[in-house]
Chain A
Amino acid sequence: MTATATFSIWRGDLQGGKLVDYQTEIVQGMVVLDAVRRIQADQANDMAVRWNCKAGKCGSCATEINGKPRLMCMTRLSDLSTTQPIRVEPMRTFPHIRDLVTDVSWNFAKKRTVRKFNPRKPDAADGTWRMAQIDVDRVQEFRKCIECFLCQDVCHVLRNHQLFDEYIGPRLLVYDAALVMHPLDSDQRLADLRHAHGIGYCNITKCCTNVCPEEIKITDNAIIPLKERVVDLYFDPLTRLFGGAR
């Protein structure tokens, strides 16, 4: 028994584009990426698609499936309705290149505004450090990030308000959190968080957390604790009274 499904895939470039319908055969266990690649091989040889690991580990195949930001490789057809066409579109927050591929270079450029890891002096004479597992657990959650940029795609500060200069976005706040909470890092990062990285723009709608394929609790575990630290440093009434940080 073979079943088919229809996929409406965004085709086009900066000059414009449209959704094009393709029908393809589907088999058990298939994910959206399988279908898109099959369509590419059989019907649309020149279609631009970005993917690598096909296992949810590299974050390359981020797109919007039926309007929701998702990884194509981790979206199973059995979880979608095939009675209607399955819509596959590029991430809309970033400049479009072609078909399903967008220009995500802003994220890489912005990352360079986060200062380099700066470890404290080694704990032992042989130049090594000691850290407890319980202390690294927290950071390891943030370091699971596969840089798919779905959280950046869904964030209204970037998507709707286009504050690309003022705000660094959830992905890079998670990166900040991984450094601020790294047991070895000795840098002072809160001034950057408040000013250059614009943490105040986040109004904790948790859309980023909802789309994270790594299930990182972006808002609760990364952004809110960072906001608290910024508030403690800059807006504590007693500190202000005695002329603390600005």
Chain B
Amino acid sequence: MAQYETIQHDVLVIGAGGAGLRGAIEAAGRGVSVGVISKSLLGKAHTVMAEGGVAAALSNVDDRDNWKVHFADTMRGGQYVNNWRMAELHAKEAPDRVRELEAWGAVFDRTPDGRILQRNFGGHRYARLAHVGDRTGLEMIRTLQDHATFERMSFYTEFTIVSLLKEGNRVVGAIGYQREKGLFFVFQAKAVVLATGGLGRAYKITSNSWEGTGDGFALALDAGAELRDVEFVQFHPTGMIWPPSVAGLLVTEGVRGEGGVLRNRLGRRFMFDDIPALYKNQTADTEEEGWRYTVGDKNARRPPELVTRDHVARCIMREVREGRGSPHGGVFLDIAWIKEKIPNAEKHIRAKLPSMYDQFLKLADLDITKEPMEVGPTTHYSMGGVRVDGDSQMSSLPGLFAAGECAAGLHGANRLGGNSLSDLLVFGKRAGEYAARFALETSLGRVSESAVNENIRQALAPFENGAKGRGESPYQLQAELQEMMQELVGIVRTENEMVRALDGIQKLKERSRSLHVEGNRMYNVGWHTAVDVGNLLTVSEAICRAALERRESRGAHYRIDYPDKSESLAKVNTTLHKGEDGAISVRLEPIKEMPAELKQIIEEMK
């Protein structure tokens, strides 16, 4: 009989990044007992890596901005396969969620008249991103963390959940282990909120930390909930590429928002060479007009560096492929050039992009106020995730909610920069609210002893393989998977490569049955990696299967065998489900008709 401790809560929040903390604060405020599972220490979640800002139509800098423009921008950026209800709620509620942070102690940069300052960002028509230099995510997570400390909730830090627990169709809790001693805990809960973030670790070059192993995606899928749109993986156009040890580290879009330009080896601003049809009307014709936009001229249109991330990433790939790349296989991102335009440019760059300045100086011996950076695409964000109801964030399983990156819908085929931080505030709050309501109307479910024992047995299997002295290294398996996904299911996709990837995943899955770890259960990172690899294999398969079904190119999903958009696929989402036999199936599901007033907004903003 396996040993474990049982803990009960009304609402269990899995994940302590922005979405999890915001959800937990909301639920606790509604008087229910809340437990928060944090895979790392508190305040270390990937939210701290968010740099550029949080998008909200506060209209502090440009009074032409309002929720309708933000809504239209989000839908255009997502190429209209977004959940329009979520895009509507997000645009309407983001300003209140940002102002609320200020009431909780966040200190955003200010306008000359003392209000929250906003900056330009890709795909946002007006200056919309509230920010703190280039460390907005840190400010947000610290504010939420400090605020949450005073709410009635229990934190379980350095815990990892290995499975959700069900009674019939309803989710009634979760089982996981505590990192420090390796002991197992069963959490019984009336409602469970997944807020586990992304899956970037499925790829070799990624901006994500070790935690981003798609846990929420895999937990939901394994429990029988549906995923949606997981073919849409965002490759951020500007990651560091040199030196090799920092490859993938994020370079904020804020660099371009502050006037940074992209050039190829020949010094050409190649983004002017290919401006997507959806953005023709909104993009500057000349470099001079682009600069005027950067400094706030309301009659100017945005420079082409500030179109959506999917497009910028592909243009960079094109330059590299056609031999016009930088020495280490990227392109140049230049912010130093603004010294031609403004006095005190060095000081300005250091004030607005302090952590980028430090990052390059300390890790690459490069002073960004003097020289251009070398950048290239890096796996950054999953637009897809757990399929949820737009209002309540409940998944297809009763009692299971999801918010933030691990939930699908808001971003469609491509996310706009800054919309992830507003996403986690708006929908973190909503998930917490509806989970609390659900919990108040229900009682604790029954946890199956045999399911618990089976989960523990599976989680510990790598130790038995270890005791036999033979088996696969979890580190090795993970590295092979990452190489393969990078190579075969990356920015440019095609059917035969993805079929090869599926075949490769199948082989890795078989090998993963003999994963082996040494040592004991105390803070054993090899064991943790073995658990994470299982999730990565599941989400990698899901990405491949959905990507094969979307036989077109849209947003972040680009296929050379179907390079154009398809009119019929413009009207569908991919929905994924795992059957009893463990097979993941994909179906194309029509998008619900948009109400007339939202259609009208999109028309007006074209």
> A-side interface residues toward B, CB under 8 Å?
13, 27-31, 34, 40-42, 45-60, 74, 76, 97-99, 101, 103-105, 108, 111-112, 116-117, 119, 127-133, 136, 139-140, 143-147, 179, 182, 184-185
Contact = CB atoms under 8 A, between A and B. Distances in A.
B60 to A, nearest CB: 9
30 contacts: A13-B522, A29-B363, A29-B364, A31-B363, A47-B525, A52-B44, A52-B48, A52-B211, A53-B46, A55-B246, A55-B250, A55-B359, A56-B359, A57-B48, A57-B138, A57-B355, A58-B48, A74-B362, A74-B363, A117-B105, A127-B103, A129-B102, A130-B115, A132-B110, A139-B107, A143-B142, A144-B135, A146-B48, A146-B138, A184-B105
B524 A46 contact: yes
Contacts of B40: 50, 52, 60
A182 B40 CA distance: 29
Interface stretch (B237-245, B261-269, B369-377): B237-245
A56 B354 CA distance: 12
B148 to A, nearest CB: 11
B517 interface: yes
B358 interface: yes
Contacts of A49: 525
Contact of B99 (A27, A30, A59, A128): A128
B428 interface: no
A113 to B, nearest CB: 11
Contacts of B104: 117
A60 B473 contact: no
A103 B180 CA distance: 9
Contacts of B479: 41
A127 B99 contact: yes
Instruction: Give the 4 A-B residue pairs with the shortest CB-CB distance, closest first.
Output: A29-B243, A130-B114, A46-B519, A45-B526
Interface string B20-46: 000000000000000000001111111
Contacts of B526: 40, 45-47
Contact of B525 (A46, A54, A60, A182): A46
Contacts of A108: 41-42, 157
B267 to A, nearest CB: 26
Interface string B262-282: 000000000000000000000
Contact of A111 (B44, B135, B149): B149
Nearest to B240: A55
A45 B107 contact: no
B477 to A, nearest CB: 11
B244 A27 contact: yes
Contacts of B113: 130
Interface in B204-256: 209-211, 242-246, 249-250
Given A46-B525, A48-B525, A52-B44, A128 B102 contact: yes
B139 A143 contact: yes
Given A29-B244, A53-B209, A45 B473 contact: yes
Interface in B140-174: 142, 146-147, 149-150, 157
B123 to A, nearest CB: 24
Contacts of B525: 40, 45-49
Contacts of B142: 143, 145, 147
A143 B526 CA distance: 34
B158 to A, nearest CB: 8
Contacts of B65: none
B210 A51 contact: yes
Contact of A57 (B49, B102, B107, B242): B49
A47 B529 CA distance: 12
B423 to A, nearest CB: 20
Contacts of B117: 133
Contacts of B211: 52
Contact of B358 (A56, A59, A133): A56
A53 to B, nearest CB: 5
Contacts of B517: 45-46
B255 to A, nearest CB: 15
Nearest to A175: B146
Given A46-B519, A48-B524, A116-B146, 17 more contacts: A27-B245, A29-B245, A45-B525, A45-B526, A52-B46, A53-B49, A54-B246, A57-B48, A60-B44, A112-B150, A127-B103, A129-B102, A130-B114, A130-B115, A132-B110, A136-B109, A179-B105
Given A119-B105, A140-B133, A143-B107, A29 B242 contact: yes
